[in-house]
Amino acid sequence: MSNKNNDIYSDLAALGQSASAASSPEEAVLERVTNPHIGTQYAVRFTAPEFTSLCPVTGQPDFAHLVIDYVPNEYLVESKSLKLYLTSFRNHGAFHEDCTVAIGKKIVATLDPIWLRIGGYWYPRGGIPIDVFWQTGVPPEGVWIPDQSVANYRGRG
């Protein structure tokens, strides 16, 4: 990158720097960058097939396949900071529903996207998978948003 581009991103803590995950989602910093295509509606997808958190009751690990789709407005999520934010849940005790919806709300608060959807496809414990879905509203017309295509329970493991 040229020095000019480095100056644009110099206020980002994670991008291009050595960084480690925060000890909790509350401490984690989710960063954003300017959308280079403001005014063009398109979908962005992040897939985290190895998301982990802890059961708040037993302390046992819970595993999920997260799929995050959004239509950006003025900002994009900076992907390294998203990875570090998601990693901060590894020692965080919360129910599946809380983790999934909290992640969606944090991204919305950071980016103010035109639209966002998150699917949390949680691997079963006790024989019951829990899938959690949250979105900000109706997807914008004319934007191709693919199906999340995560296999049902028998096909996940």
Q: Which residues are catalytic?
A: 55, 62
* DSSP codes of every residue in the chain: --HHHHHHTTT-SSTTS-----SSTTT----EEE-TTTT----EEEEEEEEEEE-TTT--EEEEEEEEEEE-SSEEE-HHHHHHHHHTTTT-B--HHHHHHHHHHHHHHHH--SEEEEEEEEPPBTTB--EEEEESSSPPTT-------PPPHHHH-
